[in-house]
Amino acid sequence: MTNDEAAARATLAADAAHQQSHLCHDCSDQLDDAANAVFALIDARKFDAAEQAAHEMLARFPSVHDGYECLGRLYQAKGDNRQAADSYRQVIEFARNEPHLYDPDFVNHFQSLIDQLEPQSAAVS
């Protein structure tokens, strides 16, 4: 991961934490812990465990985008660009369904990831 990617990840995490203020404080902490655990599993290349943990996040926290973001990062790490892009589209859908909770740069970031994963569709658009 480049320094720019790390900075973007940190900024998005801070934005997401602020956007998830509709969650109780304990739930927000639990969500952050769960997402960080998935990211650690991805970094350790324990993809099966990461996928299981991401799906558990989706079941436990269905009203937030984080589970789909975790799946997107997992699929991207595995080289499955189609599934990664589909997961990031789900993240964007959350932001579009509740625009009052999300900064426009949040959507732009995930659209940029999709465009990088699917460069042929970005060139056509």
What digits encode the pLDDT tens for the residues 29-76? 899 999 999 999 999 999 999 999 999 999 999 999 999 999 999 999
The one-letter code for the residue type at 99 is: P
- Specify the pLDDT at position 21: 47
Mean pLDDT of 82-106: 94
Q: State the sign of the Cα–Cα–Cα–Cα dihedral 63, 69, 71, 72.
A: positive
Q: Do 98 and 117 touch, CB atoms closer than 8 A? A: no
Model confidence band, residue 119 (pLDDT cutoffs 50, 70, 90): confident
Query: How far apart, in whole angstroms, are the C-alpha atoms of residue 121 and residue 115?
Result: 7
Query: How far apart, in whole angstroms, are the C-alpha atoms of residue 22 and residue 41?
Result: 27
pLDDT, mean over the chain: 84
How far is CA 102 from each of CA 90, 94, 107, rounded to the nearest angstrom? Answer: 14, 9, 8
CATH superfamily, region 3-124: Tetratricopeptide repeat domain (1.25.40.10)
What does the DSSP 8-state code read for residue 62? Answer: T
Mean pLDDT of 82-96: 97
| CA atoms lying within 13 Å on the CB side of residue 116 | 11
The one-letter code for the residue type at 85 is: A
pLDDT at 121 over 70: no
**Domain layout of the chain by residue ranges:** 3-124
Query: What angle (nearest 5°) sits at the alpha carbon of residue 69, between those of residues 64 and 88?
Result: 105
Mean pLDDT of 98-106: 90
